[in-house]
Structure 1
């Protein structure tokens, strides 16, 4: 049976692979690493990149933490056990150019005991401007990795992402979705823990080639001050989701996580324009029209 230590080591290696790939992609900025310990048990490696050629701000974080599970989390998970272990890799990248999308990835494992353990994760894309060709490419990449492991994963996890990455108070999706899953177990999937872990690792290794392709399509594209303002507004929506709805943010704060690592998902700059209305027929309005659930990109 795969152990929590083996899972953590594999996730560490995926963090290494992705930071190396992103540094090569940017060509200028390098990740700064901070190794930290969590009061209560465990720790992690926070890696932040800033002020690059392409990447304005991004984080590729690894953590493996353990200790007492707080009462609110026990209640939310519907468990009575106290001791937990959690490990994962979490990524958010905010690019300079408004024509390059924001991307988020998380792969994680949670364990209370041999009977209560599960995997979660996903990759989702948040373009400032939705380009349908890019959306189709991204979703095809997600479908390819899902289909390798199960012919039901993609549609199930896409729907899950559409519903999860939804800003209820705006009645719009955060971006074009992707795949998202939580609490995957052999009972739910018909797969062994080893097989679910293999899927988790394959998804993690899909991140770099997928994002590199999307960045290289648009990194040299010129943009206007109006398009930059739109990017800052869309970043504001990203902030709203992460601070109001994101379960990872809530889990980190509730379990006495490291604040800088938890909030590394926030952009360096974001704006909120009062009562913003996109001009009819504009590229901004076209994007808003595509921030909906249940669009079948592939």
Structure 2
């Protein structure tokens, strides 16, 4: 099994690659970096891009934190260990263009060091995922996005895409709205070594997923960034952003983990959009693209 130090180092490299590529795609804004240390152990690099040609607000964060696991998290994770180590890269991009989708990606590794050497199997796992939240659902974009993710999954395990797409549909679901956050993607957690896959294989999948972000999102941005849009479409974008905020504040496991483990607030809440609207009892016009988008915010659509 590759060491936790090497996993963290490779994740930092992926953060660097993604930031350079996003700056090139935007053509104007650059990332502002803030290095931070966590009280209790570890730290990270928060990188935020704002007010660009395309990206109104985005973050590409790396963290490698360790320390004592709070009781509430022990119960949530169903573990007895006192100490933890976690590292990963987390990305959320909010474009200023309503025809360019919001995108989120996370790749991560979790370990309970105090479980090592006690005669039991060490507790450690990989998790992650990538999902797309279009303000307007475009069928061709959805096919491209899911087809690209399936291609990455198929390199490692023929069952991954089907399993992880279903996981994403269930995870990125706003229960109180009875709608999915967007068109989903893939999501997985607590993936461990097995007879079929070694730890190095799983880590290879994690890195391949991380490196799929740029070719996928660059294609989607370039397809739509020059299209004109109306003020009404921008207002719809702000309305859809409100749903994104609701999910992250109410359901998102990463947000909860960060807050419960005394994480850095600015980094944790980086995922929230810069502007959102909550209109009372908003109903789209019958037959509109807005109504069509709402009709497609459902689980189990076979986009591929």
Q: TM-score, normalised by structure 2?
A: 0.97
**RMSD, aligned α-carbons:** 0.7
C-alpha displacement of 1:192: 1.0
C-alpha displacement of 1:280: 1.0
Distance 2:72 2:169 in 1: 26
Structure 1 residue 141 corresponds to structure 2 residue 148: yes
3-state SS in 2 of match to 1:2: coil
**Residue 195 of structure 1: aligned partner:** 201
Distance 1:290 1:81 in 2: 42
Distance 1:201 1:35 in 2: 23
**Residue 221 of structure 1: aligned partner:** 227
Question: CA deviation digits over 1:23-78, x for unaligned, max 9?
Answer: 00000000000000000000000000000000000000000000000001100111
3-state SS in 1 of match to 2:143: helix
C-alpha displacement of 1:279: 1.1
Structure 1 residue 61 corresponds to structure 2 residue 67: no
3-state SS in 1 of match to 2:66: strand
Structure 1 residue 237 corresponds to structure 2 residue 243: yes
- 1:297 alignment partner, one of 292, 300, 303: 303
Structure 1 residue 166 corresponds to structure 2 residue 173: yes
Structure 1 residue 117 corresponds to structure 2 residue 117: no
- 1:287 alignment partner, one of 288, 293, 297: 293
Distance 2:271 2:78 in 1: 28
- 2:275 alignment partner, one of 269, 272, 275: 269
**Residue 31 of structure 2: aligned partner:** 31
C-alpha displacement of 1:147: 0.2
| Number of residue pairs aligned between Structure 1 and Structure 2 | 297
Distance 1:83 1:194 in 2: 23
C-alpha displacement of 1:119: 0.2
3-state SS in 2 of match to 1:186: coil
Unaligned runs of 5+ in 2: 117-121
Distance 1:148 1:280 in 2: 43
Distance 2:80 2:279 in 1: 45
3-state SS in 1 of match to 2:35: strand
**Residue 128 of structure 1: aligned partner:** 135
3-state SS in 2 of match to 1:271: coil
Unaligned runs of 5+ in 1: none
**Residue 212 of structure 1: aligned partner:** 218
Matches within 5 A, 1:13-28: 13-28=13-28
After the TM superposition, which parts of structure 1 deviate over 4 Å for at least 4 consecutive aligned residues?
A: none
**Residue 74 of structure 1: aligned partner:** 74
Q: TM-score, normalised by structure 1?
A: 0.99
Distance 2:210 2:193 in 1: 20
Distance 1:62 1:186 in 2: 24
**Residue 48 of structure 1: aligned partner:** 48
3-state SS in 2 of match to 1:30: coil
